[in-house]
Amino acid sequence: MSNRVALVTGASRGIGRATALALCRAGFDVVAASTTIESNSEFAAEMQSAGSFLALNLDLKSPESIKECFARALKEKGRVDVLVNNAGITRDGLAVRMKAADWDAVLRTNLDGAFLCIQQVLPGMMRNRWGRIINLSSVVGQAGGAGQVNYSASKAGLIGLSKSLAQELGSRGITVNVVAPGYIATDMTKDLPEERKQKILSAIPLERIGTPEDIASAVKFLAGDEASYITGQVLAVNGGMYM
């Protein structure tokens, strides 16, 4: 069998970028999907040095964009063996004042988008009787987070979705697992006030902020043959912040 094909959403930066690189270096043929990634020359240069990859534009809010992206991936690569649903957005705000548009945007991208991506790869995985689906949740999907009801709901939804899918797909040789990052140094977290960062740090037993590579290592493990008897699980990579 030729190298396994892994498609990573939200691959242009942060956790997605680290994951795409880690899988590339591990010998996977990586399809990196994200908004406007095809014109990202810096990303292309970094990936080329790591291994085999294909960059495809993907807008998770658009079912048409999702279908088009996966159709192109399947045409170019023949199959998708591993799907990493990493892409996500935040629109934080207190529930009492949250606009319907902010609720809808987060749920549509983080939960609906992930589900529609899964639907695109299932026929091929079921036919091949092998597959890995890895959904990126969050510590706030497990423990909640004030001011993040939409984001928490979307990430908790991914956990329930994954456990149900694991039960549906186990007999077809497809595993479905969740990686739940804690506080990770990315573009999404860098703008938090210093006081908030210090408060978060004080709640982490390992006394450090996580890196995108910490998460990428967990995803790489679940994508490989070593994890073939693991399904329906939530692997929390959070430094002990939530146990």
Q: Is residue 43 in a domain?
A: yes
- Please give the share of the chain, as a percent, with pLDDT higher than 70: 99
Tally of domains in the chain = 1
Could you give the CA distance from residue 85 to residue 76 in angstroms, rounded to a whole number? Answer: 20
141-167 per-position pLDDT tens digit: 999 999 999 999 999 999 999 999 999
Query: Distance between the two ends of the chain, CA-based, in angstroms?
Result: 39
Task: Report the predicted TM-score, pTM, of the whole model to 2 decimal places.
Answer: 0.96
Q: Which two tokens stand for residue 13?
A: 């930066």
Q: Is residue 242 in a domain?
A: no
**Whether 151 is catalytic:** yes
31-56 per-position pLDDT tens digit: 999 999 999 999 999 999 888 899 99
Going by C-alpha positions, the residue among 107, 94, 112, 243 that lies closest to residue 180 is 243
Contact 3, 24 (CB under 8 A): no
Give me the mean pLDDT over the 179-208 stretch. 89
Query: Any alpha helices (H) in 26-131, and if so which ranges?
Result: 41-50, 63-77, 100-107, 113-128
Q: Which two tokens stand for residue 67?
A: 């279908």
Q: Which two tokens stand for residue 172?
A: 């077809």
CATH number, residue 165: 3.40.50.720
pLDDT the model gives residue 51? 83
pLDDT the model gives residue 120? 98
Contact 5, 56 (CB under 8 A): no
pLDDT the model gives residue 192? 79
- CB-CB neighbours of 38 under 10 Å: 16
91-140 per-position pLDDT tens digit: 999 999 999 999 999 999 999 999 999 999 999 999 999 999 999 999 99
Active-site position among 151, 183, 229, 242: 151
Q: Is residue 243 in a domain?
A: no
Structural domain containing residue 56: 5-237
18-31 per-position pLDDT tens digit: 999 999 999 999 99
